[in-house]
Amino acid sequence: MNTAKWIEYFNRNRQNRPEPDWSAPVTVPTAMLAPLLCSLEQFRLGDGGGPASLIALNRESFRSRTDEMKQIVDLWFREEAEHARLLGCAVRRFHGRIITSHWSFTAFCLCRRLLGVRFELQVLTLTELVSTAYYRMIRRHSPDGPLAALCELILRDEAGHVAFQRDRLAGDGVPHRGLRGWCWRLQFFVCGLGAATMLWVNHAPGLKAIGGTRGEFYGEATRQILRFIRSLRRKEKPAPIPALWARPQSVT
């Protein structure tokens, strides 16, 4: 993997990030606000609001492969912490709480810690994919301009994170052909649906409140996962870096 490319990308991505206008009048109808706010409070915790780092017991086996990889991982998680900051601004805008624990997040972190860094990296990759579906739905249905602008910023980052994970997996030689390739794709897809279901269980009330549906969410999440799998099968070369000026798109 071209580590210099990703160091340059993460450093450039910190530039030209217009802050949402948090002082603008709140335009979320009262009936929508409570379930939407609850979802944002929980998502802030999961998207960089907890430990903004790899936490698997054997994490250093990946993080310390090279000095460049250590730098990339730190830059990646710095962006995750930025997501938590942005979501925290939205929570405060709607007069919500900054929560520090939730049963689903505790279970998520326990699995990441105990099941090894390879499993943790896969879980984080799937989280990026299903989170893309979540943010796309909120951007599509949001009645609040600053909240939609927040989603635009985070989707820009998620596009880069997904491309980085695709490049990482391609460099690690993920199996493509034969029974091993089929089994890898099947387990990745099944785990992806599990991640999507966990997100839907926790955040369905908020997404439904602004007009989202179960079918829309699962359709978007499935599309992101399958495109990621297909892109790995097609790729012999590293993933292109997303253009920072482009509107975030689905993984291709």
Digit-coded pLDDT (tens) for 119-156:
999 999 999 999 999 999 999 999 999 999 999 999 99
Residues 38-48: pLDDT tens digits?
999 999 998 87
Reference 160, options 218, 64, 75, 65; nearest CA is 75
Q: What's at 75, amino acid-wise?
A: L
pLDDT at 127: 94
Token pair 């699962």 is at which residue?
218
* Of 1 and 170, the one with more pLDDT: 170
Q: Taking residues 181-199, what's their average pLDDT? A: 93
Looking at residue 63, what is its pLDDT?
86
Residues whose CB falls within 8 Å of the CB of residue 107, separated by 6 or more in sequence, listed in order: none
For the entire predicted model, the pTM comes to 0.88
Q: Is the pLDDT of residue 28 over 60?
A: yes
Q: What percent of the chain has pLDDT over 70?
A: 91
Residues 107-120 pLDDT 10s: 888 988 889 999 99
Tokens representing residue 72 in the block: 């990339």
Q: What is the pLDDT of residues 219-235, one digit of tens each?
A: 999 999 999 999 887 65
CA distance 214 to 229: 22
- Asked if residues 91 and 37 have their Cβ atoms less than 8 Å apart, the reply is yes
| pLDDT of the residue at 49 | 74
The answer to whether residue 248 scores a pLDDT higher than 60 is no
- The arrangement of secondary structure in 3-11+29-234, i.e. its CATH architecture, is Up-down Bundle (1.20)
Q: Give the residue extent of every domain in the chain.
A: 3-11+29-234
Which spans in 45-116 are helix H?
60-63, 67-93, 103-114
8 A C-beta contact, residue 86 and residue 154: yes
Residue 218 has pLDDT above 80, yes or no: yes
Q: Tell me how far CA of residue 39 lies from CA of 24, 185, 240, in angstroms.
A: 21, 30, 32
Q: How far apart are the first and last CA of the chain?
A: 19
Q: pLDDT confidence of 240, banded at 50, 70, 90?
A: low
Q: What is the dihedral of CA 252, 228, 132, 193, to 10 degrees?
A: 140
**Distance from C-alpha of 151 to C-alpha of 122, rounded to nearest angstrom:** 23
Total residues found in the chain within this entry: 252
